[in-house]
Structure 1
């Protein structure tokens, strides 16, 4: 039986990694899209409005598929954490960091700390126990990113960096809770219900901000806002949560270490950003780390 179970478990883990990478690919355009959106929309409206729009789409999807809108009461604490983490926390913190002058490339490398934070949350909340090699590679990636950040600012953390750390912690909590619930409930339903769960806050907040702030709906701003609303906040979570459930939150979550390279590509292609060799070296260092973590089974 063990001879059959082990290949099946490994195959499931590989499927989870592949699905998680599709989610990362979707998320990798979030920072450039946020920059585009903020060219015509207030940063707070970008952060909260995207959740309100995605929530409306989630309601329609759940209605069409005849699934319940509100999760059972015993799951409300988990959905509250998902909402605080990925519906509010990450969009607000990362958006404000970009609005305060953090470049897309720099933000992408700092946010690559997210897999390490997710792994820690997985151990604390989802009873996962990765092998020692996993932790060594995970710590190496975190150290590489920390060293990169400090060398960029004369060994001092700036406000945008602190906001990005807040984004990392928020997302790690939301990812862990969502991945845990996705073991029993399809991932698309988890993110949909989290968005619906947040609608009583996101809709009135987004409406108030839209009334109080000017909006300049340029084509770039509309495109960016549409991306963060439909892809970053909604569709990207479909493969992401499914991947975390199949591959293990700690292991599959490490695929997000590839996101710095993808973000650097989009920053160069879409925004024309220039970055030095230190940025590329840091991104490559974490890419090596993710390859090692994927070899270390949970």
Structure 2
């Protein structure tokens, strides 16, 4: 393995470790349906606004050049996926499901990221690759069905939001990795956040809480704003550019397990055998799928 790929895997692990705290921290910030804290809309838009202001300062400090004309559209796609789509959908969903549950729903994200990367880099996954993806998706849907409460709809709206969030993240990761091959990885996420500021900054002011909120919720909000929305992407996009999207995306395999482990001390949640079994099964489909042939069309 080349040294750049090794660096990419290590940076990917650092980014995944930061992202793994996103679901537990979001749950801590939004509270529960019985004891709500910050609203999901404020957390999603507010964290992007904070990270956008930090990004503007960073771009000025590093004298970042303006993106090329052809880069603005991909940056808008990145913003749509990881600045708006994923944060908004997960922030709303996390008030209604536990972080452990959400970790399993999002466990197929590595395969979705690999698929997006293969498409953007003009690669053709084998039939076996797609079969693994279908099996992993079926396991996720099965888990959602088994965990839906008595009298509830077969699949909760929160589960559908999490699946849509997974798709948004995969698209944002893929396009961000593509841009990171010709731009500094840090500049990719910074520009995506800055171009979103005309929406996120006034939106955060409008959605800010009117009542007092516990300090723990604000600390959790601070984490998702600085680490989940900003610093984590510095490492993640650089990792995808160095090691390749398809290869480095497998590092995300450890993210659901880390999220579950973090949720236990932070939120007092528990991991039941069925949840752990489904998580392991989904991880297995992703691992096997990552080993299936993928040939280049170029």
**What is the TM-score with the length of structure 2 in the denominator?**
0.88
Query: Residue 17 of structure 2: which of 1, 25, 29 is its match?
Result: 25
Q: Once structures 1 and 2 are overlaid, which stretch shifts more, 131-140 or 213-222? A: 131-140
Query: Residue 48 of structure 1: which of 45, 49, 52 is its match?
Result: 45
1:60 aligns with 2:57: yes
Contact 1:54/1:230, CA 8 A, preserved across alignment: yes
What count of residue pairs does the alignment treat as equivalent?
286
Q: Distance in 2 between matches of 1:13 and 1:180?
A: 16
Q: CA deviation at 1:276?
A: 1.6
Q: CA deviation at 1:43?
A: 1.5
Counterpart in 2 of 1:35? 27
Q: CA deviation at 1:120?
A: 2.1
Q: Once structures 1 and 2 are overlaid, which stretch shifts more, 154-163 or 238-247? A: 154-163
Contact 2:15/2:236, CA 8 A, preserved across alignment: yes
Q: CA deviation at 1:295?
A: 5.2
Counterpart in 1 of 2:195? 197
Relative to structure 1, is the Cα distance of residues 94 and 261 closer, same or farther in structure 2, using a 3 angstrom cutoff?
same
Q: Distance in 2 between matches of 1:225 and 1:215?
A: 16
Query: Residue 128 of structure 1: which of 96, 111, 123 is its match?
Result: 123
Contact 1:126/1:176, CA 8 A, preserved across alignment: no
Contact 1:83/1:174, CA 8 A, preserved across alignment: yes
Counterpart in 2 of 1:114? 109
Counterpart in 1 of 2:73? 77
Contact 2:42/2:207, CA 8 A, preserved across alignment: yes
Counterpart in 1 of 2:34? none
Q: Once structures 1 and 2 are overlaid, which stretch shifts more, 134-143 or 114-123? A: 134-143
Counterpart in 2 of 1:206? 204
Q: Distance in 2 between matches of 1:18 and 1:294?
A: 18
Counterpart in 1 of 2:222? 226
Q: CA deviation at 1:293?
A: 5.3
Could you list the runs of 5+ residues in structure 2 that have no partner in the other structure?
32-36
Q: CA deviation at 1:257?
A: 2.4
Q: CA deviation at 1:23?
A: 1.0
Q: Distance in 1 between matches of 2:137 and 2:244?
A: 20
Contact 1:28/1:263, CA 8 A, preserved across alignment: yes
Q: CA deviation at 1:204?
A: 1.1
Contact 2:12/2:236, CA 8 A, preserved across alignment: yes
**Deviations for 1:42-77, whole angstroms, at most 9, x for unmatched residues?**
211111000000011111111111113x42222111
Contact 1:251/1:293, CA 8 A, preserved across alignment: no
Q: SS at 1:102's partner residue?
A: coil
Relative to structure 1, is the Cα distance of residues 246 and 129 closer, same or farther in structure 2, using a 3 angstrom cutoff?
farther
Could you list the runs of 5+ residues in structure 1 that have no partner in the other structure?
1-6
Contact 1:41/1:215, CA 8 A, preserved across alignment: no
Q: CA deviation at 1:184?
A: 1.4
Task: Please report the RMSD computed on the Cα atoms of aligned residues, expressed in angstroms.
Answer: 2.2
Contact 1:55/1:196, CA 8 A, preserved across alignment: yes
Q: SS at 2:181's partner residue?
A: coil
Q: SS at 1:112's partner residue?
A: helix
Query: Residue 262 of structure 2: which of 263, 266, 272 is its match?
Result: 266
In the TM superposition, 1:168-187 aligns within 5 A as 168-187=166-185
Q: Once structures 1 and 2 are overlaid, which stretch shifts more, 128-137 or 188-197? A: 128-137
